[in-house]
Amino acid sequence: MGKGAIAQLDGMIRGEIRYSVSMSEYTSFRVGGPVDYMAFPADREDLQKIIQWCNREGVLYFVLGNGTNLLVRDGGIRGVAISLARGFLRCEVVERGPQESLVLAEAGRSLRKLVEFSWKEGLSGLEFAAGIPGTVGGALFMNAGAFQGEMKDVVDSLQLMAADGSVQEKGKGTIHFSYRTLDLPPAGVILAGRLRLKVGNGPAIKVKVEEIMRQRMAKQPLDLPSAGSVFKNPNRGPAGRLIEEAGLKGSRVGDAQVSEKHANFIVNRGNAKAGDILALIEKVREKVFQEKGVALEMEVQVVGED
């Protein structure tokens, strides 16, 4: 696919298309090779045109959240990365009740801003998400969770765009969440979520949010690039504890390091490559399996070419 072909699409949409964009600019690990094209749809109509064009032309595409749970290999990504961070930012209370209210949050909205919005509106239920990086769409896609809460606990319905560009709303009974996973239709794109939150006291909710943030800052290496928790917690207990007990805290491959503060974080000490991070991930998995008999499962999504 050359620039001439993508120029057709560029002329069809109101948003922007960028060429040969380094994914290190768009991932929290700060690593990764280039994606052929990065598209920023301005609205749903733009997104429909991009998806339909990609399907018609046989071009691969994927939707990029905030790059906070993503590792892009050093060879980069062929096709189109679609970012919803410019045109899908709506966040509002769409239904108020004496005990519960419904909030509509579009996929490009940052989770941090959604949590802030909720406590300012005196709505409780999203406190667990305080400090989780990324977008609403990414949090829904990964069923993000912490502190005994998950996105599935507050979702009332999802708005999805199918591979043909059609839009549908799926109610809670037809949405299938599991641990750090949402079962989406093939090539489906999350547009927004309706979240059912409890009416509460705004200042009290804010205090709880701030306490969770303090706990995160005390336990997690937020001063270095990372992608959050690398592995899902197995039945045997927290992955970080198993990694620490296997003696892997501080282990390095190049500038990729198992955090000395939280062993389920791998941090970029400055000049790590994706290949370094992947090699360290395999080292951790092998050692934990040898020492503990547990096969750690990845939570971070890995995409792209070597």
Active site amino acids: 180, 229, 299
Write down how long the chain is.
Answer: 306
Q: How many angstroms separate the CA atoms of 54 and 36, rounded?
A: 13
Beta bridge partners of 93: 103
Torsion sign across C-alpha atoms 241, 244, 250, 252: negative
Beta bridge partners of 195: 103, 155
Give the residue among 210, 207, 167 at the shortest CA–CA distance from 190.
167
Q: How many angstroms separate the CA atoms of 129 and 53, rounded?
A: 35
